[in-house]
Amino acid sequence: MCIRDRIKKYYDEHKDDYRAPESLNIQFVVMSPETVKMTAEPSEQELKDFYEQNRKKYEVEESRRAAHILIAPDANEADKAKADQDAKAKAEKILAEVKADPSKFAQLAKENSADPGTAESGGDLDFFTQGQMVPEFDKAVFGAKKDEIVGPVKTEFGWHIIKVNDVKEVPFPTYDSVKDQIREGLELKKQQNFLNELMKTNKIEYGK
């Protein structure tokens, strides 16, 4: 066997001795929490801009307290149109009574309302926000003033006489009242964006 063949044979039998170990070329950045926080600190102008651009986010809905007297058509009446007209006529009569003397509203609700859930409490529905009631009822309540009596309002349930007992108006939150909340949200978002950029620019490279 010639020298060349002997060398090749030796190499083949010991090739693992000549294999270079796999290596990683890693770039990394050490950042303290304080440094990350500093890079994400929003300016006063950024806070104000966010507030102006997202005012809807901070709105608190107005709620109203109303009472109603429901006059439902007679379910036993074969002529549905007649039953509806009779119910409307009765509602109009009761409406005239309560407008003449609003103090009678609760008593008339107890005596006449077809709503079993509220009749005993004088028709009281407690506070609710816009959109919680059927559309026709909702529109009548939020289109009326406090202490106003409106109706008859037709819904799928029958005819309603409605009294708006209270309006809970919520003042729009000022910039100062939500400033800290905005700052926390923007800081978190900017920190995440900063860390995402670091991950993009500092790659892990494999080498041999």
pLDDT tens digits, one per residue of 148-193: 999 999 999 999 999 999 998 776 778 888 888 888 888 888 888 8
Contact 99, 144 (CB under 8 A): no
Say which range, 1-10, 91-100, 162-171, has the weakest mean pLDDT.
Answer: 1-10
Split at pLDDT 50, 70, 90, the class of 208 is: very low
Q: What is the mean pLDDT of residues 62-87?
A: 94
Say which range, 54-58, 94-98, 176-180, has the weakest mean pLDDT.
Answer: 54-58
Q: Model-level pTM?
A: 0.57
Split at pLDDT 50, 70, 90, the class of 207 is: very low
**Has residue 103 got a pLDDT over 80?**
yes
Say which range, 2-6, 55-59, 110-114, 167-171, has the weakest mean pLDDT.
Answer: 2-6
Choose between 176 and 95: higher pLDDT. 95
Choose between 156 and 35: higher pLDDT. 156
Mean pLDDT of the chain: 84
Contact 66, 122 (CB under 8 A): no
**Has residue 28 got a pLDDT over 80?**
no
Residue count of the chain, please give it. Answer: 208
DSSP 98-153: HHH-GGGHHHHHHHH---TTTGGGTTEEEEEETTSS-HHHHHHHHTSPTT-EEEEE
Instruction: Kindly state the tokens that stand for 88.
Output: 């409307």
In this structure, how many other beta carbons lie within 10 angstroms of the beta carbon of residue 164? 20
Contact 98, 112 (CB under 8 A): no
Contact 128, 67 (CB under 8 A): no
**Domains within the chain, CATH numbers bracketed:** 17-52+173-207 (no CATH), 63-168 (3.10.50.40)
- Cα dihedral 97, 101, 107, 111, rounded to 10, equals -10
Closest CA relative to residue 68, chosen from 1, 159, 139: 159
Q: What is the CA radius of gyration of the chain?
A: 38
